[in-house]
Structure 1
Amino acid sequence: MSDLVTGEAVVLGLRTAKLPSRGLAVTLDLAVQVVGLVVTTLVLSLLAPDLDGAAVAAVTIGLTVLFLVALPIMIETLSRGRSLGKAALGLRVVRSDGGPVRFRHSLVRGLVGFLEIIVLFGVPAVICSVVSSEGKRLGDVFAGTLVVRERVPGGGGAAAALPPVNPQLLQAIGGELVALDLSAVPEPLWLAVRQFLGRIGELDQAAAHRMSARLADDLAARTGHPVPYGVHPAAYLGAVLTERQRREWSRAQGHAFQQRARSQQQAQSYHQAQGQRQAQHYAPQQAPVQQQPLPATPPAPPSTPASGTGFAPPA
């Protein structure tokens, strides 16, 4: 078993493939490649029988490189580390940190593998695999890769790693999960839990139980609530992670509802303002009332001063 450590400091208890299984997988791959090479060569010889010796040598070298180097690299890259022989035996090539291989890893493995397996008849590969504790050959050493077992003997994936839990216990957990304070749990621990639960089907049952118990203890120390008695630690981790996702979804839904309400309110205010502008634009305009000028008042006649005799001449 290999103690691979991921970027989140999670130890992956993956079972490494040893020399017998790897040798059988390589034999199957080489058999398919050689058959394809022979069949293609025969077909070309029938289609072009008039080729000279130089052309035949060039075509033979090209087909050899294609079937023994290029195609294995391409298949391993596209299948994320699974060739025909590895798929038949339940093996996969992964990086040293447990991640999927990329083109550069497959390229190094293919070039070095052509030398150590085909040119040197597999002698360096056998010696290196026997000496290495993880069963690595030279191609794995230079590429930084590892061949692991996907189908662990006696395991049935995630369902086998997670034993059945009593529904009453799950119902009791549900009541406790609602009251858990998850604000003190750091994000790296959530990442470690998610990665562990995502790869629990690839781990040995004993290693998965140890890792789940350690992660559950770390989570319980952050939340202040121990793991309920009788509940598998992996099941508890999945329940707590589901509760966190439910809370995040509820917060996202509440935020989205507030955004929609705010948008509807703004749209309603905009439409009301537009309606008021249109009402003012199409309202009949009343002509201003012109005030008629008042007739000028004639000036009063000058008053005749009264005489002291009291006589007033006739008009």
Structure 2
Amino acid sequence: MPPSSIDTIRFHETPEGIDLALRVAGPVVRALALVIDVLIRLAILVVALPLLALPGVGAGIFLLLLFGLEWLYPVFYEVRHGATPGKRALGLTVVHEDGTPVGLSASLIRNLLRVVDFLPLLYAVGLVSCLVDRDFRRLGDLAAGTLVIHHTPPQPQAQGLDVPPRRPPPGLPSALQQAILAFAERGRSLSPARRGELAEILAGPHGLRGSAAVAAVEGWAAWIASGAGDAPALPQPNPRGAQPPP
């Protein structure tokens, strides 16, 4: 089971062999961030309305400001801070698909294509694109190779779990082990119902449900994080009188 099927986390392996966990943002939180940015731009325009009273140049300055707010405002904040004020307020950031900070060319592409995403009205094309794409990308993101992700502070590592290590089932693929560690790192921040749901996805094939699945997955994570791997089982003592193998 690939880790991408667990919640909204996407894993990317860096050239150094480090796995980055990117939690992609859905269309609802992105729409709320857009509303905040629109309100900020409207507030700036309202403050700048007296410019129209300036004879000769007032209207030109106001139109330049309008152009800058519409096209350069998002590019400036994404390149400089990784996100517009609206996205930052909701804990979002824009990155390349490999998790690196977004660059100028990618930001320009994703924002220029907002014209297409807006069609025919109120970002209808962009919304459809977000709903059909597994990473919730609109057309601008697809063309620029970018993702909008939740920027979360570092979570405690699985080693810090106050649970005894539990030997996982043999032959777990590395992708599933990554998903188990990701669950352990952020599972305590989820609701009990969500924790149980994700744990059952991971442990369900082994016949575990509910709290038993949560306990099992956390124990597996502690075992994996300890580096025990698939170590052989401890030898059992010989029955009395039995001869050791040759």
Q: TM-score, normalised to structure 2's length? A: 0.58
Match of 1:94 in 2: 95
- Partners in 1 of 2:78 and 2:125 — Cα distance? 21
Tell me how far 1:4 sits from its aligned partner: 2.8
Count of aligned pairs:
172
Which structure shows the higher helix fraction? 1
Q: CA RMSD in A?
A: 3.4
Q: How does 1:23-62 map to 2 (within 5 A)?
A: 23-40=31-48, 42-46=49-53, 48=54, 50-51=55-56, 56=59, 58-62=60-64
- What SS does structure 1 have at the residue aligned with 2:44? helix
SS in 1 for 2:113: helix
The runs of at least 4 aligned residues of structure 1 exceeding 6 Å deviation read: none
In structure 2, C-alpha distance between the alignment counterparts of 1:78 and 1:138, rounded to whole Å: 23
Inter-CA distance 27–10: structure 2 relative to 1 (3 Å threshold) = same
Matches for 1:75-94 after TM superposition, within 5 Å: 75-79=77-81, 81-94=82-95
Residue 43 to residue 160, structure 1, CA distance change in 2 (3 Å) = farther
Change (3 A) 1:76 1:235: farther
1:64 and 1:234, CA in 2 relative to 1: closer, same or farther beyond 3 A? Answer: farther
Q: Secondary structure at the match of 1:158?
A: coil
Contact kept? 1:13, 1:208, Cα under 8 Å: no
State the structure with more CA Rg: 1
Q: What residue is the counterpart of 2:71 in the other structure?
A: 69
Q: Say if 1:93 and 1:146, in contact at 8 Å, map to a contact too.
A: yes
Q: 183, 188, 201: which one pairs with 1:205?
A: 183
Classify 1:64/1:14 alpha carbon distance in 2 versus 1 (closer, same or farther; 3 Å): same
Deviation track 1:49-105 (CA, whole Å, cap 9, x = no partner) reads: x338xx72x4443222111111211111000x2221111111111111111111111
How many angstroms does 1:38 deviate by? 2.7
Q: Which amino acid letter does the alignment assign opposite residue 108 of structure 1?
A: I
The separation in 2 between residues aligned to 1:207 and 1:165, in whole angstroms, is: 12
Distance of 2:124 and 2:93 partners within structure 1: 22
Per the alignment, residue 226 of structure 1 pairs with none
Query: Is there any run of 5+ residues in structure 2 with no aligned partner, and where?
Result: 1-7, 164-177, 188-220, 228-246
Q: How far has the Cα of 1:8 moved from its partner?
A: 3.8
> In structure 1, how many angstroms separate the alpha carbons of the residues matched to 2:100 and 2:33?
21
Amino acid at match of 2:150: R
Q: CA deviation at 1:159?
A: 2.7
Cα deviation code 1:273-294 (max 9, x no counterpart) = xxxxxxxxxxxxxxxxxxxxxx
Alpha-carbon distance in 2 for matches of 1:29, 1:38: 14
- 1:3 is displaced (CA, Å) by 3.2
**DSSP-derived class of the 1:147 partner:** strand
Q: Does 1:12 align with 2:20?
A: yes
Is the 1:163–1:232 Cα contact (8 Å) retained in structure 2?
A: no
* Mapped contact 1:117–1:123 kept (Cα < 8 A): yes
Percent identical: 29
Q: Deviations over 1:82-141 (max 9, x none)?
A: 221111111111111111111111111221125534885311111111111110011111
* Matched residue SS, 1:159: coil
Give CA-to-partner distance per residue, 1:190-216, whole Å, 9 cap, x none: xxxxxxxxxx9xx9434889xxxxxxx
